[in-house]
């Protein structure tokens, strides 16, 4: 009897729980009193948060009674979480996507077509071309350019001065700084801290030497990694790394964060987004400067990875409110504020060549626009190749050839 009562009670509880979740789902659909926005944790930084808050205030003023619920996600885990919400029908109303992540999701139909709202979005006629392309698929618009980023050198002006060094104009010159900056420093000091498997930076060498990652030949993806030019670029990266960096040859650029290494006084300079200047430590704030990484050809900058983010409205999200929020967050005022903290704004009408990161973006490269590209990133194919090259486990040519085969099979799979 007891057991039956317990079972009955459990059943009742289960039914009640199911009913209550159904009720919340229904109420959400009928009257959207709040919208959910997923942004990356970058936007949680002290100087970035007010920009989000200002957009929210503007949106809420225009839509009385609607509140914005911003949830911050990490780059490493947000796609798995997004998949889960797509399966459960609880996707957010707006999501920030990395521009290399867009194609796979657009191809699968994860976003709502917002082509008809394009004209109502701020500066949509002058969006940065690279970013705008990452938000289009099959002639339709799914992603709104949010911001772009390039990589620059953040360096200790005091150390450069002491060693009698000026901003380098060629890669060879920069490489030669290694020995001069390391003089008198402890063994673990990196003149230029580069995480060994920072493939964004390593691929810049490949593109600087005229190589590439992969290209489409009559509908099939073909690897370019083992081409003589790419191998020359990878070899140059290895030489550069060995001359200037004491970082682990197998770690990525966020374990540890380069600016933490810098703030601990263990680096003379670091490579990364221009906003790295935020976190260089109190003692170095006054003696920190930035410059663009020079190319191996004099007078040019090294091609940088044009990273960036798009904002999209997932399937199941509230399209009208989602687009309105995106419009508020990508307004001219908002983009100018993003520019002020070191990002590249989403429109050529707002870019400013006097800004260092925008100068760095004058030569840029992008990943192959294949729907499976994100699987190459997540499979750490390029990172593993760099670890093999730097640790000497394989020769540059061998490592590049094996990674290239891998990439071809993923992209054509």
Partner 1 sequence: MTEPLPDRAAGAAETTSPSWSRRRQPLTRARAFRISVPYLLIFPVVAAIAVILGYPLYNLVKLSFEKYGLFELIRHSGTWVGLDNYSSVLHDPVFWHTLLRTAVFTVVNVGLSIGIGTLLALLLVRVSAWVRILLTAGLVLVWSMPVVVAVQVWYWMTNFQNGVVNYALTQLRIGDYEQHDWYATTFSQLGMVTTLIVWGAVPFIVVTVYAGLAQVPSELVEAAEVDGARPWRVFLDVTFPILKPIFLILTSLSIIWDFGVFTQPYLLIEQSRIHASNFLMAIYLFEEGYFKSDFGRGAAISILMLVMVAGMSVFYVRRMVRMGDVE
**Interface with partner 1 (CB under 8 A):** 3-4, 6-7, 76, 80, 83, 86-87, 89, 104-105, 107-110, 187-188, 197, 246-252, 254-256, 261, 266, 315, 375, 378-381, 383-384, 387, 391, 393
Q: Take residue 5 and report the two structure tokens written for it.
A: 């009562």
Report in angstroms how near the CB of residue 246 gets to partner 1 at its nearest: 6
Report in angstroms how near the CB of residue 74 gets to partner 1 at its nearest: 11
Report in angstroms how near the CB of residue 302 gets to partner 1 at its nearest: 23
Identity of the residue, 63 or 104, whose beta carbon is nearer to partner 1 in the bound complex: 104
Identity of the residue, 313 or 350, whose beta carbon is nearer to partner 1 in the bound complex: 313
Closest listed residue to residue 59, CA positions, set 46, 69, 68:
68
Identity of the residue, 188 or 210, whose beta carbon is nearer to partner 1 in the bound complex: 188
Residue 29 and residue 89 in contact, taking contact as beta carbons nearer than 8 Å: no
Identity of the residue, 118 or 371, whose beta carbon is nearer to partner 1 in the bound complex: 371
Identity of the residue, 36 or 290, whose beta carbon is nearer to partner 1 in the bound complex: 36
Identity of the residue, 198 or 208, whose beta carbon is nearer to partner 1 in the bound complex: 198
Report which DSSP code applies to 124: G
Which long-range CB contacts under 8 A does 259-266 form with residues at least 24 apart? 259/154, 261/190, 261/193, 262/154, 262/156, 262/193, 266/186, 266/188, 266/189, 266/190, 266/193
Dihedral (C-alpha) 280, 285, 289, 292: value to the nearest 10 degrees? 30
Residue 225 and residue 407 in contact, taking contact as beta carbons nearer than 8 Å: yes
Report in angstroms how near the CB of residue 118 gets to partner 1 at its nearest: 23
Report in angstroms how near the CB of residue 342 gets to partner 1 at its nearest: 24
DSSP-based three-state secondary structure for 183: coil
Closest listed residue to residue 154, CA positions, set 299, 275, 59:
275
Report in angstroms how near the CB of residue 126 gets to partner 1 at its nearest: 32
Cα distances from 413 to residues 71, 238, 408, in angstroms, run 34, 31, 8
């Amino acid at each position: 009897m007891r057991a039956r009562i317990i079972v009955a009670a459990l059943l009742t509880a289960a039914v009640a729980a199911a009913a209550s979740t159904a009720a919340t789902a229904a109420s959400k659909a009928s009257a959207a009193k709040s919208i959910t926005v997923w942004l990356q944790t970058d936007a949680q930084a002290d100087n970035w948060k007010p920009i989000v808050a200002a957009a929210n205030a503007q949106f809420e003023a225009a839509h009385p009674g609607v509140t914005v619920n911003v949830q911050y996600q990490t780059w490493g885990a947000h796609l798995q979480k997004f998949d889960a919400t797509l399966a459960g029908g609880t996707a957010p109303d707006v999501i920030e996507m990395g521009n290399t992540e867009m194609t796979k999701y657009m191809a699968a139909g994860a976003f709502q077509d917002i082509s008809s709202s394009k004209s109502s979005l701020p500066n949509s006629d002058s969006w940065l071309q690279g970013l705008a392309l990452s938000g289009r698929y099959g002639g339709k618009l799914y992603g709104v350019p949010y911001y772009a980023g390039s990589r620059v050198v953040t360096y200790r002006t005091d150390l450069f001065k002491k060693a009698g060094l000026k901003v380098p104009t060629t890669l060879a010159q920069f490489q030669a700084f290694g020995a001069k900056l390391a003089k008198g420093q402890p063994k673990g000091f990196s003149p230029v801290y580069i995480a060994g498997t920072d493939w964004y930076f390593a691929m810049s060498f490949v593109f600087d030497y005229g190589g590439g990652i992969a290209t489409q030949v009559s509908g099939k993806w073909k690897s370019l990694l083992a081409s003589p030019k790419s191998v020359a670029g990878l070899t140059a990266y290895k030489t550069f790394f060995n001359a200037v960096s004491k970082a682990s040859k197998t770690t990525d650029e966020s374990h540890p964060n380069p600016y933490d290494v810098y703030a601990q006084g263990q680096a003379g300079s670091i490579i990364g987004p221009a906003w790295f200047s935020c976190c260089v430590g109190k003692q170095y704030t006054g003696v920190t400067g930035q410059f663009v990484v020079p190319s191996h050809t004099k007078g040019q900058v090294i091609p940088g990875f044009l990273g960036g983010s798009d904002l999209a409205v997932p399937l199941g999200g509230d399209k009208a409110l989602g687009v309105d929020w995106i419009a508020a967050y990508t307004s001219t005022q908002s983009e100018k504020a993003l520019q002020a903290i070191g990002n590249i704004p989403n429109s050529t009408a707002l870019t400013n060549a006097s800004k260092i990161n925008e100068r760095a973006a004058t030569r840029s490269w992008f990943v192959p626009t294949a729907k499976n590209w994100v699987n190459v990133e997540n499979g750490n194919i390029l990172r593993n190749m760099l670890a093999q090259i730097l640790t000497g486990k394989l020769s540059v040519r061998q490592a590049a050839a094996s990674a290239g085969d891998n990439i071809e099979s993923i992209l054509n799979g």
